[in-house]
Amino acid sequence: MNQEKIEKYRGLGLKMTPQRLAILEYLEGNKSHPSAEDIYRHVRSQFPSMSFATVYNTLEALKERGLVQELHIDPSKKRFDPDTSPHNHLICLGCHKIIDIFTTPPMNSIPQEELQGYKLISAQVVLYGLCPECQEKEAQQKD
């Protein structure tokens, strides 16, 4: 991670430890929508003595500063997305892979009358389907 990014995180009040840097590097550009457990397993290979609490606390600090978004799409565990731009997700019902879907117009452009007085804080559409690999497996099982 370059010094400019490190200074950006420090400027947001994040203490920069080697473990936290490893977490940030893992998240940077990550499109897999990892859970805290996924991140912990990856970073622990570099820092065997690191605790799960370090990962969880770092994710909470990043979430509070708007640097990651917590996804509520997997009832068994929280997932995190370092892409905080407005977008939706498509989940494969076979392998559970999650991909980003960028729609136009974004969901936050819903007409006010349809919101029935609600103040929209955030919006996300979750689409479900089968990825090409799972479609192929399904087709092979039918043959």
What one-character DSSP code corresponds to residue 139? Answer: H
What one-character DSSP code corresponds to residue 111? Answer: -
* Strand residue runs (E) in 46-109: 69-71, 79-81, 88-92, 98-101
Query: What's the CA gap between 89 and 123, in Å, rounded?
Result: 11
Is residue 85 marked as binding? no
Alpha helices (H) along 28-126: 36-44, 52-64, 112-115
Is residue 92 marked as binding? yes
Is residue 131 marked as binding? yes
Is residue 95 marked as binding? yes
Say if strands 69-71 and 79-81 run parallel, antiparallel, or are unpaired: antiparallel
Two tokens, residue 64 = 């509070």
Annotated binding site for Zn(2+): 92, 95, 131, 134
Annotated binding site: 92, 95, 131, 134
